[in-house]
Structure 1
Amino acid sequence: MNRMILIIIAIVAVLFIVYQLRNVSGMDQSQLKEKIDAGALVVDVRTVTEFNSGHFPNARNIPIDEVSKRVDEFGDKNQTIIVYCASGGRSGSAKSFLESIGYKQVINAGGLSNMPNP
């Protein structure tokens, strides 16, 4: 019986991870690069420490816990904004928040490793 419970927990965990990843844009790196080259604002929502350890060139660091306080830094609600973090969870939260206040073109790129080569 304990084995069955562990299997169910594992299945639920996998489904949760898959659900979280669905929030990621699904764009490949070349599509993201096109958006960036066209002037998209790139925002890293990781902590300052994470950002300082390496980030996408010209990305703006607005940690997830500061997004609502620094919303004016995101600019025009019609511009394309690409958010990323370490794995896509925090950037998914940032995307949802920004969309809830009227931003129309927010892309969750997922993690830094999903960003295109500069």
Structure 2
Amino acid sequence: MKSTLVVAAVLAGVFLGACASQQRPVRDEAHRWVDAEATLVDVRTPEEFAAGHLPGAVNIPVDDLAQRLEELGAPAKPVVIYCRSGGRSARAEQLLKERGFQQVLNLGPMSAWE
């Protein structure tokens, strides 16, 4: 039983380390894009946004995105999107690409920014 727990703990650590290292390149790329004046978009609800968001982000909830595309500017302008866990930003990424936005970077969860 004790060895099973040790193996489980080691595997969990490997998994978490792999997840963190996979987020690092996206985080670094997101920082580069925003530094180069990409629009940073929080696709969470207004209530979630009011409770805390990344500096400089605009709030366009994913359910409103299709009706508010003009707020993002021309489809050629780079956009970085994020949400709480990555699900809504994945939906937003798909919608933006379907609508002709060529440079869309999905940060995923807001926590990946740090």
Residue in structure 2 matching 1:35, options 33, 38, 43: 33
Hey, what does 1:102 align to over in structure 2? 100
**Cα distance change on mapping 1:25 and 1:100 into 2, 3 Å:** farther
Residue in structure 1 matching 2:90, options 88, 92, 97: 92
Q: Distance in 1 between matches of 2:49 and 2:81?
A: 13
Runs of 4+ in 1 over 4 A off after TM superposition: none
CA deviation profile, 1:2-28 (whole Å, cap 9, x unmatched):
xxxxxxxxxxxxxxxxxxxxxx98733
Hey, what does 1:47 align to over in structure 2? 45
User: Once the 2 structures are TM-superposed, how far is the Cα of residue 74 of structure 1 from its aligned partner?
Assistant: 1.2
User: Once the 2 structures are TM-superposed, how far is the Cα of residue 105 of structure 1 from its aligned partner?
Assistant: 0.4
Secondary structure, counterpart of 1:84 in structure 2: strand
- Identical-pair percentage: 39
CA deviation profile, 1:6-57 (whole Å, cap 9, x unmatched):
xxxxxxxxxxxxxxxxxx9873322221111001100000000000110000
Structure 2 unaligned segments of length 5 or more: list them: 1-21
Q: What amino acid is aligned across from residue 112 of structure 2 in structure 1?
A: N
Residue in structure 1 matching 2:63, options 62, 65, 72: 65
Whichever of the two has the greater Rg, that structure is 2
TM-score (norm 2): 0.76
Structure 1 unaligned segments of length 5 or more: list them: 1-23
Are residue 80 (structure 1) and residue 78 (structure 2) matched?
A: yes
The higher relative CO (CA closer than 8 Å, separation ≥ 6) is in 1
